Structure 1
Amino acid sequence: MSRPVVGIIGNSYLLNDQYPAHAGGTMNSEAISCVSGCMPLLVPADPRFLSVEELLTHCDGFLLTGGRPNVHPEHYGEAATDAHGEFDRARDAITLPLVRACVESGQPFLGICRGFQEVNVAMGGSLYPEIRDLPGRDNHRMPPDGTLEEKFALRHVVSFKESGVFQRLMGSQKVMTNTLHGQGVKEPGARVVVDGHAPDGTPEAIYIEDAPGFTLSVQWHPEWDAANDPVSRPLFEAFGDAVRAWADGRKTQAVLKSA
């Protein structure tokens, strides 16, 4: 049997300072294939090459990945500064309307790090350019040195709302996560429910209130060791279940239309 398709949103890069490429982390594909049980499909997120409508037609769900480029602050009414870092305007042009379309239709998505921030901005929210510069906040950035195991190591607790969506999914109100981000949610967007926080108050887990489909998004990187991590695995399994349900609904509608 064919597996449902998850579009993995890629980022634009310049390899060796001269070769333009679209890329996505192997661990994202591994998590989608091995834990969610879906077929990963890397998406070149650029409106020159594809449209949101095409993506909605050909994919059953979407993984909004992390990445070094940030959402451009013009999308939440602020001017760009050096603190905002690098941008990927082409990705913004695809993902922000894609999130809104999925929220409306119920097509499932899972947001990770930048993807988490994209969901908030798509719904009208804003971001802090640099969390570590805020009074009382910790440095959430990736350690500059060390192995991948050291960079993705568990670093802080995330506390969920009692009896909330994430606590029910994880089976615990407190979990340990990694942290590899510089920016963070400032003002939540319309219908964005902040369901989990780091100890310093930084939002870490959100979903869209009253959305008809799966909209869970996290600020940490659950794709790291997703098959074995007790926090990552249930998140990707639940996402896979949502994508299969959407794909089955498509098949049912197709059968009814042809009858």
Structure 2
Amino acid sequence: MTRPLIGIISNLHVVDGSYRTHAGGVMNCEAVSDVCDCIPALIPADPRYVSVEELLETYDGFVLTGGRPNVHPSEYGEDETAAHGTFDRARDAITLPLVRACVQRGQPFLGICRGFQEVAVAMGSTLHPEIRDLPGRMNHRMPPDGTQEEKFALRHKVSFTEGGVFHKLMGAREVMTNTLHGQGVIKAGTRFVVDGLAPDGTPEAAYVEGAPGYTLAVQWHPEYHAAQDPVSRPLFEGLGQAARAWQSDRRARPALRSA
């Protein structure tokens, strides 16, 4: 049997000002291959090329990656402002229904940074466009200068709920993480359970309550040095285990039928 297939949500990039690409960081593929022990495959996040139904039937799990464009505020009932930054409505059209379908089916996923925000919004949460502007909050954004190592350096603690999902997964109540995000969850949806907080109270780790599968999401970037980092490795190992379980059960499940 081949390794499970993990779909990695890509981002739209324009190379040299004119050449449009769908791309994903190499470190995402490394984490999926080396830590999940699964086959990584980039997904063009655009409903013109793929449907949610096709993705569900093709892949054994998903990584919802980080990305510079933000989820459009209309998806959580707010008006667009300059503070919300740039958007990728095509990606919204794929990832939000994909998350809801995976939750219903028990199909595994790991949300990272923007992916964390996608899971939050799909489950009815709201976001603040610039978390550092709130009283008492720190600047969670990527440092503007420095090497990649400096930008992805560990910068703050995340504290998990005693006996919660992440505490059990990590074997620790507190861990150190990097931080490279601007937005943050303000009001969590009913099933979006915040299970880890930064020292300033910003939600950093969450899961979907009552979901039958692996539905974890983190606001930091665990794909960076995932094989060596003791905080990152359990997240991807857990995704790999869930994808193998999904793969082994795939033949026993009926295929989706479009309405």
Aligned: 1:234 with 2:210: no
Residue matched to 2:78 = 78
Residue matched to 1:56 = 56
Residue matched to 2:117 = 117
Residue matched to 1:180 = 180
Distance 1:4 1:115 in 2: 21
Residue matched to 1:34 = 34
Once the two structures are superposed, the pairs formed by residues 1-259 of structure 1 within 5 Å of their partners are 1-253=1-253
**Structure 1: gaps of 5 or more residues:** 255-259
C-alpha distance after superposition, 1:135-167 (max 9, x if no partner): 000000000000000000000000000000000
Residue matched to 1:257 = none
The Cα of 1:54 is off from its aligned counterpart by 0.3
C-alpha distance after superposition, 1:109-160 (max 9, x if no partner): 0000000000010111110000110000000000000000000000000000
Distance 2:123 2:11 in 1: 21
Runs of 4+ aligned structure 1 residues displaced above 2 Å come to 251-254
The Cα of 1:252 is off from its aligned counterpart by 4.5
Q: TM-score, normalised by structure 2?
A: 0.97
The Cα of 1:37 is off from its aligned counterpart by 0.4
Name the aligned partner's letter for residue 95 of structure 1: T
Instruction: For residue 187 of structure 2, give the secondary structure of its aligned residue in structure 1.
Output: coil
Name the aligned partner's letter for residue 185 of structure 1: V
Q: TM-score, normalised by structure 1?
A: 0.97
Distance 2:152 2:5 in 1: 27
Distance 1:126 1:44 in 2: 26
Name the aligned partner's letter for residue 218 of structure 2: V
Distance 2:82 2:225 in 1: 33
Pairwise CA RMSD: 0.9
Distance 2:242 2:79 in 1: 37
Give the paired residue count: 254
Distance 1:89 1:97 in 2: 13
Distance 1:252 1:96 in 2: 26
Distance 1:198 1:47 in 2: 35
Name the aligned partner's letter for residue 137 of structure 1: R
Sequence identity (%): 70
C-alpha distance after superposition, 1:190-233 (max 9, x if no partner): 21100000000000000000100000100000000000000000
Distance 1:251 1:231 in 2: 33
The Cα of 1:80 is off from its aligned counterpart by 1.1
**Structure 2: gaps of 5 or more residues:** 255-259
Residue matched to 2:257 = none
Name the aligned partner's letter for residue 187 of structure 2: E
Instruction: For residue 121 of structure 1, give the secondary structure of its aligned residue in structure 2.
Output: helix
Instruction: For residue 188 of structure 2, give the secondary structure of its aligned residue in structure 1.
Output: coil
